[in-house]
Chain A
Amino acid sequence: MDQRAILDHQFLVAAYAITWAVQLGYVAWLALKWRAQKRNAARNRQ
């Protein structure tokens, strides 16, 4: 592979990795929020 192809590959991997980091990070944050709300609701019911 020439230098240009290597750089293209690295940039492509970075773009895909960043996309998944943002998406999965958001889903993880949603899951934490969901769990905290469930816990608060359960505490209030007691």
Chain B
Amino acid sequence: MKKLAIGLYVAVTVALMVWGYYQAIYVAPTDAMQGEIFRIIFYHVPSASVAFLFFAVSLIGSIGYLAFRRNRDGWAQIADAWALAGAEVGVVFCTVVLLTGPIWGRRAWGIWWTWDARLTTTLVLWLIYVSYLLLRRFAAGPQMQTYAAVLGIFGALDVPIVYMSNRWWRTQHPAPVFGGSEGSGMDPSMVHPFLWNMLAWFCWGVLILGIRYSVERQHQKFAAQEAQEALNA
């Protein structure tokens, strides 16, 4: 039953990705100002949204780990697995944002990169979570998960700063399309393709988050089993 549900979810996600692509390329009209290059928005913005969401998952997992690590080890390990999965998949989506953004910027602004608040804080966010993953990969010892959880919590503090950066400061990056000042927004003919792509990327993200979580849980069980065998020997 579980396998059937997973298979169904994968099928729906793949269908949504294909549908999202069709909407982005064939249904959404060409932007009057930017032309074809505007269609990067259908991959760039959903990737940023999903990255933020998964960094929030990592934050909750990190807090959960710190809360449960002394008295409920099982729960703490589950929380830690979510923290790692959220951070890692978040980094993947943030990487996409940092790669597609400059490609868009080169055509729209004539430059690949500028040190404005939105771009810089996003790069800092990516660097914090890459350092989180490096810590988890190379640090050893019983305190590693605790250090990682603390870093995960501090890293998440950058997310609201990234989100608010083009509201608080004047930036090269455009003002928010949704929830921005008066007059912001998207042409109604572009909203549906945009929402389909948001949904598709969200489902894709949840799928790989779930896979990453399962891999980590399997790793934890394997490591615990090895430790037990070493004690018994």
Give me the interface of A with B, judged by CB distance under 8 Å. 4-5, 7-9, 11-12, 14-16, 18-19, 22-23, 26-27, 30, 33-34, 37-38, 40-41, 44
Given the complex, which residues of B lie within 8 Å of A9, measured CB to CB?
A: 36
Question: Is there contact, CB below 8 Å, between A15 and B215?
Answer: no
Q: List 25 A-B contacts (CB under 8 A).
A: A5-B35, A5-B36, A8-B35, A8-B36, A11-B107, A12-B36, A12-B37, A14-B103, A15-B40, A15-B44, A15-B100, A19-B47, A19-B100, A22-B92, A22-B95, A23-B92, A23-B96, A23-B204, A23-B208, A33-B215, A34-B211, A34-B218, A41-B218, A44-B225, A44-B226
Complex Cα distance A42/B177, Å?
Answer: 52
| Contact A37/B218 with A19-B96, A22-B96, A22-B99 known, Cβ cut-off 8 Å | yes
What CA separation (Å) do A8 and B30 show in the bound complex? 11
Interface centre among A11, A14, A34, by most B CB within 10 Å?
A11
Give every chain A residue within 8 A of B106 (Cβ-Cβ). Answer: 11
CB distance from B60 to the nearest CB of A (A): 22
6 interchain residue pairs of minimum CB distance: A8-B36, A8-B37, A15-B100, A15-B103, A15-B40, A26-B92
B69 interface contact, C-beta 8 A: no
Q: Chain A residues near B96 (CB, 8 Å)?
A: 18-19, 22-23
Q: Report Cα–Cα, A12/B196, bound state, in Å.
A: 19
Q: A15-B100, A19-B47, A44-B226 are in contact. Are A30 and B215 (CB under 8 A)?
A: yes
For B204, the closest partner residue in chain A by CB is: A23
Query: Which parts of B28-60 form the interface with A (CB within 8 Å)?
Result: 35-37, 39-40, 43-44, 47
